[in-house]
């Protein structure tokens, strides 16, 4: 049974230690089944016919990046990438802290003691206080419960999550009634005014992204698997195929989202998965589909027909960002250790809706650093309100919203690790060919998988390559199971003139995006920009 003892001052780390002992009603380290039942009893969600917990997140169906703040103090003043992160003064954070504590004393709370990071050398002790039982279940899925160390668990990071709290911009220095505030000096995260559980996960990720580079560890927003040819890391923004391509039944899944790379190799930050569910099908993603139908899985904003006992994964009426949360063990070929050696291959995924990037290209270390800093993909018409034609999207390090430090700090670490491990680097386009979205066609998944297989097993690197004149990329001239015409995008277009115009347009977008980063990189990276033949 779960222990329901009151919080004590010595149980909480950081500056919060003298505050959380005032609570006498928190329910600590409830088991999965207890939290599932409690969430239903409290009306937070309902059980599906398959044993999943179906929940909705209200107004916030995704993260609120404009409501996220970092405390600016002596520690962070010179170390945060302030052009990309919003600041909050220490006195504003402290008012928010005290007001949230007062609110919490009137609220029923749950707490979980958890571990982040599969590497013992970098393990982070996290204590998460939540207002909702299902949020407590969520973090229990996403991280590793620490019951065995219950009596002497010392948190290094504390998260207080109160959806019913409403922040006051004039008092707390925030933008709206919703707030996500991180104080790196005290190891404290405050979340208020949002029911979206992903804010908790991403706050822990942001904290690790700040502390690990100082230890010579590269934190990465990527998936990792391991099999023939060694381990592989998959970078990519939403919609590029990161989860789909890393979920290979012939390879062991290390994790689907957040990892670290140190001198020993790769390690998962998490103990679970938070997979996108929109248009999920049993045929295309059988393991994730099966996980969604297991007892205890959390289905967030997923449409469910109670009468038929069936999910409608194609229903985006509530949001495109439907999600499923479950422990990594729900995936049959998941790694028990959540660790792997140094990657033999690094794959950077992009969905080029302009239809001009080759389906795969081998990158030099400088090119890998450039494309890592760029983090390019494209939105297509219909994915967001107001998007009527393809739009380029750039997110530094393939995860700019979670990167507190300047992107070049992460990119320099990446290049150092690439050089020391001699990893092969690839840029893979899972988007369009033969024309932009609406004119060309999506890369056939069979061809994408064949190219990826060749990259991971080493056979692709043994073939002959040519230099793409539009982007300066090293492109294979042939690959088993793939038409040679597809490897040269211009040959898939009906008009060479139209292709050249579109390619020049995309190169211009890369150049415009990189201007703010150019002063902070060396000449090798500048020479790796698209259009400059290597």
Which one is catalytic: 140, 141, 323, 342? 323
Q: How far apart are CA 75 and CA 63, in angstroms?
A: 26
Instruction: Say which residue the tokens 């490897």 belong to.
Output: 487
Which one is catalytic: 68, 127, 172, 242? 242
- Is position 221 annotated as part of the catalytic site? yes
Which one is catalytic: 68, 201, 202, 339? 202
Which one is catalytic: 11, 28, 61, 63? 63
- Is position 433 annotated as part of the catalytic site? no
Q: Which two tokens stand for residue 45?
A: 């969600």
The DSSP 8-state label assigned to residue 5 in this structure reads P
Which one is catalytic: 15, 87, 185, 238? 238
Which one is catalytic: 68, 122, 221, 251? 221
Instruction: Say which residue the tokens 């150092």 belong to.
Output: 416
- Is position 202 annotated as part of the catalytic site? yes
Which one is catalytic: 257, 262, 287, 352? 257
Which one is catalytic: 243, 433, 470, 492? 243
- Is position 238 annotated as part of the catalytic site? yes
- Is position 248 annotated as part of the catalytic site? no
Q: Which two tokens stand for residue 350?
A: 């992009």
Whether the CB-CB separation of 430 and 232 falls below 8 Å is answered with: no
Whether the CB-CB separation of 111 and 24 falls below 8 Å is answered with: no
**Cα–Cα distances in angstroms (integers) from residue 32 to residues 38, 93, 151, 326, 435, in the given order:** 10, 33, 20, 11, 49
- Does residue 495 come out as left (phi exceeding 0), alpha (psi in the -120 to 50 range) or beta? beta
Number of H helices, E strands in the chain: 13, 31
**Cα–Cα distances in angstroms (integers) from residue 100 to residues 93, 105, 174, 179, 192, in the given order:** 10, 9, 14, 11, 8
Instruction: Say which residue the tokens 């001198």 belong to.
Output: 263
Q: How far apart are CA 298 and CA 417, in angstroms?
A: 36
What are the residue numbers of the active site?
A: 63, 202, 221, 238, 242-243, 257, 323
């Amino acid at each position: 049974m779960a222990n329901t003892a009151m919080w004590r001052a010595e149980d909480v780390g950081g500056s919060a230690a003298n505050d959380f002992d005032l609570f006498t009603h928190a329910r600590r380290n409830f088991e999965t089944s207890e939290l599932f039942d409690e969430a239903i009893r409290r009306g937070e969600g309902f059980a599906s016919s398959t044993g999943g917990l179906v929940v909705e997140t209200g107004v916030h169906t995704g993260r609120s990046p404009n409501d996220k703040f970092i405390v600016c103090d002596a520690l962070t003043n010179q170390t945060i990438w302030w052009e990309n992160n919003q600041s909050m003064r220490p006195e504003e954070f402290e008012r928010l802290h005290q007001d949230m504590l007062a609110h919490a004393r009137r609220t029923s709370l749950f707490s979980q003691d958890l571990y982040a990071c599969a590497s013992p050398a970098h393990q982070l002790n996290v204590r998460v206080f939540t207002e909702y039982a299902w949020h407590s279940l969520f973090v229990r899925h996403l991280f590793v419960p620490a019951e065995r160390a219950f009596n002497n668990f010392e948190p290094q990071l504390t998260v207080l999550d109160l959806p019913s709290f409403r922040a006051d911009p004039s008092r707390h220095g925030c933008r709206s009634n919703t707030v996500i505030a991180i104080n790196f000096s005290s190891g404290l995260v405050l979340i208020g005014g949002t029911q979206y559980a992903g804010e908790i996960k991403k706050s822990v990720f942001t904290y690790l992204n700040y502390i690990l580079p100082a230890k010579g560890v590269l934190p990465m927003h990527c998936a990792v698997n391991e099999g023939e040819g060694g381990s592989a890391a998959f970078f990519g923004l939403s919609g590029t195929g990161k989860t789909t391509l890393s979920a290979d039944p012939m390879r062991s899944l290390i994790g689907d989202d957040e990892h670290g790379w140190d001198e020993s190799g790769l390690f998962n930050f998490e103990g679970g998965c938070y997979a996108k569910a929109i248009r999920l099908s049993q045929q295309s993603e059988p393991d994730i589909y099966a996980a969604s139908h297991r007892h205890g899985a959390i289905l967030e904003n997923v449409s469910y027909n109670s009468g038929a006992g069936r999910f409608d994964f194609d229903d985006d009426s509530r949001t495109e960002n439907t999600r499923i949360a479950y422990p990594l063990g729900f995936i049959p070929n998941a790694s028990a250790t959540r660790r792997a050696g140094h990657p033999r291959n690094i794959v950077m995924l992009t969905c080029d809706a302009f239809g001009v990037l080759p389906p795969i290209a081998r990158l030099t270390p400088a090119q890998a650093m450039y494309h890592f800093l760029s983090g390019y993909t494209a939105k297509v018409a219909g994915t967001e309100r107001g998007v009527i034609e393809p739009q380029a999207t750039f997110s530094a390090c393939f995860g700019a919203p979670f990167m507190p430090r300047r992107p070049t700090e992460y990119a320099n670490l990446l290049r150092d690790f690439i050089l020391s491990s001699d990893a092969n680097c690839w840029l893979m386009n899972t988007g369009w060919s033969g024309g932009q979205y609406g004119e060309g066609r999506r890369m056939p998944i069979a061809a994408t998988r064949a190219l990826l297989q060749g990259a991971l097993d080493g056979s692709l690197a043994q073939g002959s390559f040519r230099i793409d004149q539009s982007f300066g990329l090293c492109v294979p001239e042939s690959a088993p199971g793939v038409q040679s015409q597809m490897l040269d995008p211009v040959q898939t277009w009906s008009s060479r003139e139209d292709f050249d115009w579109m390619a020049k347009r995309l190169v211009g977008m890369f150049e415009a995006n990189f201007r703010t980063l150019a002063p902070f990189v060396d000449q090798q990276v500048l020479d790796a920009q698209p259009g400059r033949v290597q």
